Structure 1
């Protein structure tokens, strides 16, 4: 996604259907209505279930799609700057998230990475991703992982080793213990027929393997769409999955950036409704061609939609709160199985320093939101959750009084009331990891406060099973002299005070660095940041 360019009116919909297929396909405005022939057909299928295993599985799959509650989850751009604290979604009513995007590493096509910037291990360290996922799960949230997107190579594009490709997908699924994946196919990742075939084969094998182990894997395809429907490349990607016997949970269409295909006299919501309706019709034809007929309600349950909130990439396309409310009302009444949005990172008003809101920002919506969020508006009526592939993670909050900290199993030093901590420093307290928001000493990390600004500590997430101490940077002995009240210091000189390094902001004598925490603006001393300390410990200046 992040972000799809306009789907022009010229792009084709699904390949032309035969007269029989056209007769079977639902009308554009059919909603949940069933024709008499569909009702009779459904009864025949139920009879065949008793005698036919394959057909029985097809019926079960269709029924499961209808029975699962429709769900909402925002996309989260994991590697975007500024970093979005998706773990805080656990305090909202829209806790689930689709984390994006896993793509091929720049150095190794078959190695998964986050945005081609972090390996999975690097994301655990630099982004504290594993811990933040655990924190969201503690609060009842569920995550899916999205592969692909617009800006980098989806794994199947250049990884042509079938076993390595399957292993790459599996490594992500297993690491984050997810039961739902999202394949966001755009650009070369969608146009490449060989990549489509490789991807489908690998996903089919992984899905079969997990089911043999008693686990599930819900597979969603996220594809471009115009008000007239999906592109031919999109329908080909669906066909490849069906041919490989992948049990597709659904097809999520990106109702955004319509470009010249947008009907000018209609709102963004109305164009989105037309796009989703056309996609549902096409999906029915593709299932019929694969001899996997789906009922009309089942097809709607297999359709998802993802608008781009606020300002779209196309300048005159703005998805407003009115559009969100109207589209949500239509989607709930129609019975689609999923609603998402691009993205949680953007679900807020742009600050006053962001001048031109017609230029898309990765960190704000470009429209005035007040206290409202697009997530809350779009999520109404979507009461389900992303499917879990394994045993559910406990949603119980950590109990501080019962948690004993062990240095041998703590990734960071255990907090001490006598120690001072620089901004950015991480510590462990009652089996949770906290990060200092500013210089602090003596402030208990889990001290209950009403407002976040009352504490210098931010909860990152729980200590994970199997963790061991991460080497911490230390300053070599004698790096800086201890502060002396009688010495004069010029701007830029550094000293140690209570073990913490400080730098003089201007000439000073007799001013204790201790005052820097209470009155940082007037103090001549500034504590070094954690990043500066890391560089010093690494031997750079």
Structure 2
């Protein structure tokens, strides 16, 4: 996971683990903003890479389809010593960078600081941060700011005053003239519902202010991920942000530190698995919230951030070949963003640290040439920070969504109903199918590997759908049910035009019309309802 490295190196323990804007369109490939000086340098860099470097990515650009818009924006650990000169093209070949991390000031939880060590003014004076950002922009590059990280406390967690929290974020946006904010939510913060709601409210306000001023503010969420996707808390963090009114540009997953990947894990395979699973989760989530996106549209809202080289887990090493594979995957899928942790580490370890497991802030711990990882991603053909063509889908409020049984193709989900495998239901405008027998499990609830959902998403309810029409499985039943009659087991009756059979003796108990009909109901249905699996 990403960390703020303001303290001496610490080896971290294994982690525990409605409707779309009608004017939205898939973003076009924007033009990179490069000065002639910076462009000239990059041409020299590319020329020296050889067949195994960025030239391979250039080939991807020529052969990839229309979704190939992946944007390379590596992280820089701002407060780490020695200072990484991200503004210098000789040190940093990347056009854009994500500066990490802004956290809560230890003395005032509602005040932003760099790594808990520098106020913005102190960072300007001691680190020349403002000047270096200005220099990068003058050379055609740009920055996004990353707020959070695993170490220290994120502003929304520390600051419980929503007005002051909003002002803290506003200070950052204005001081650094930001078009993009990256919210890195890790550790216990992922499950902190109150802070998630505060953060969403603050970001919504800032986006509204920027829109009123004629601009945009893109927001990314950076979250931990496992090979089987986001955790339930991670999915809920995305849901809370969207339902809070934030126009979310995308979700960046940290493809690193899996913890239980085996003795010799294939880090590229695990990263691709995590990204595919995240794609499914976000597709389902947007659908549950009333937005049906195409597969490429979802991919454009996903980012990947590996920890280059030696990960915090000894067995996990992300190599230069893995980076080449991820670049290929990114272009093939149209991944919205590729980052890495971090530019500070994009160098071989030397001296006594060579060829051993090294957990270092300033070298990768694997065999590589200096800047080999950066050069592998540099020619990804995506846009730049804050590109206005990369519009995000705005999720409308969901509080008033109610399923109309007359317009639902399958029974509406009920908390008390007992569902068998294969049963289809409608819930909040989405059709789900039961993967196994269950009761009381909300189809729209988040899930993870520890508590998997018994429901799979099938698709949205359409405007032409109507109520399900049951089909009788017997004929010849003519007696209407009467509340005064004493019925014996096996007797058949009609109720609301449908046949039923008595399971046991009863009187006054009307046959149920709530589907599926419980096995504890005295009347067994002699008909099938659309969505009910055929048995026997």
Q: TM-score, normalised by structure 1?
A: 0.60
CA distance in 2, matches of 1:338, 1:78: 21
Q: Deviations over 1:261-291 (max 9, x none)?
A: x266751001000001101110111111111
Cα deviation digits, residues 28-81 of structure 1 (max 9, x gap) = xxxxxxxxxxxxxxxxxxxxxxxxxx84x6243453488894310110000011
Q: Following TM superposition, by how much is the alpha carbon of 1:101 offset from its aligned partner in structure 2, in angstroms?
A: 0.4
Q: Residue 96 of structure 1: CA displacement?
A: 0.8
User: What is the alpha-carbon distance in structure 1 between the residues aligned to residue 92 and residue 358 of structure 2?
Assistant: 28
Match of 2:332 in 1: 333
Alignment length (residue pairs)? 344
Question: Do the aligned partners of residues 74 and 244 (structure 1) sit closer, same or farther apart at CA in structure 2, a change above 3 Å counting?
Answer: same
Secondary structure class of the residue paired with 1:168:
helix
Tell me how far apart the structure 2 counterparts of residues 63 and 74 of structure 1 sit (CA, whole Å).
24
Aligned to 2:359: 360
| Other structure's SS at 1:151 match | coil
Name the SS of the counterpart of 1:84 in structure 2. Answer: coil
Task: Tell me the distance in 1 between the aligned counterparts of 2:306 and 2:358.
Answer: 17
Matches within 5 A, 1:345-494: 345-354=344-353, 357-371=356-370, 373-387=372-386
Partner of 1:109: 109
Q: Using the TM superposition, give the Cα deviation of residue 384 of structure 1 relative to its aligned residue in structure 2, in angstroms.
A: 2.0
Find the counterpart in structure 2 of residue 295 from structure 1.
294
Q: Distance in 2 between matches of 1:365 and 1:344?
A: 10
Taking the aligned partners of 1:62 and 1:235, their CA distance within structure 2 comes to: 24
Higher helix share: 1
Q: What is the CA–CA distance in structure 2 between the aligned matches of 1:84 and 1:269, rounded to whole Å?
A: 27
Judged with a 3 Å threshold, the aligned counterparts in structure 2 of structure 1 residues 177 and 257 are, in CA distance, closer, same or farther, namely same
1:60 aligns with 23
> Residue 371 and residue 102 in structure 1: after superposition, are their counterparts in 2 closer, same or farther (change >3 A)?
closer
CA distance in 1, matches of 2:283, 2:29: 15
After superposition, the Cα gap between the structure-2 partners of 1:217 and 1:349, relative to the gap in structure 1 and judged at 3 Å, is same
Using the TM superposition, give the Cα deviation of residue 215 of structure 1 relative to its aligned residue in structure 2, in angstroms.
Answer: 1.5
For structure 1, the residue ranges without an aligned partner over 5 or more in a row are 12-53, 391-541
Q: Describe how 1:274-289 pairs up with structure 2 within 5 A.
A: 274-289=273-288
Is the 2:223–2:253 Cα contact (8 Å) retained in structure 1? yes
Q: TM-score, normalised by structure 2?
A: 0.61
1:291 and 1:218 mapped to 2: Cα distance?
21
**Mapped pair 1:246 → 2:254:** no
Partner of 2:195: 195
CA displacement 1:313-334 (0-9 Å, x = unmatched):
0001000111111121112101
Task: Name the structure 1 match of 2:134.
Answer: 134
**Alignment correspondent of 2:86:** 86
- Asked if residue 182 in structure 1 is aligned to residue 178 in structure 2, the reply is no
Aligned-residue RMSD, C-alpha = 2.3
Q: Secondary structure at the match of 2:144?
A: strand
- CA distance in 1 between counterparts of 2:177 and 2:185 reads 23
Instruction: Quote the residue 2:71 is aligned against.
Output: 71
Asked whether the 8 Å contact 1:302–1:336 carries over to 2, the reply is: yes
Cα 1:5–1:282 change in 2 (3 A) is farther
Q: Could you tell me how far apart the structure 2 residues matched to 1:118 and 1:327 are? A: 35
- Look up the match of 1:148: 148
Q: Distance in 1 between matches of 2:358 and 2:232?
A: 30
Unpaired segments ≥5 residues, structure 2: 4-11, 31-66, 390-536
Quick one: distance in 2 between partners of 1:380 and 1:263? 32
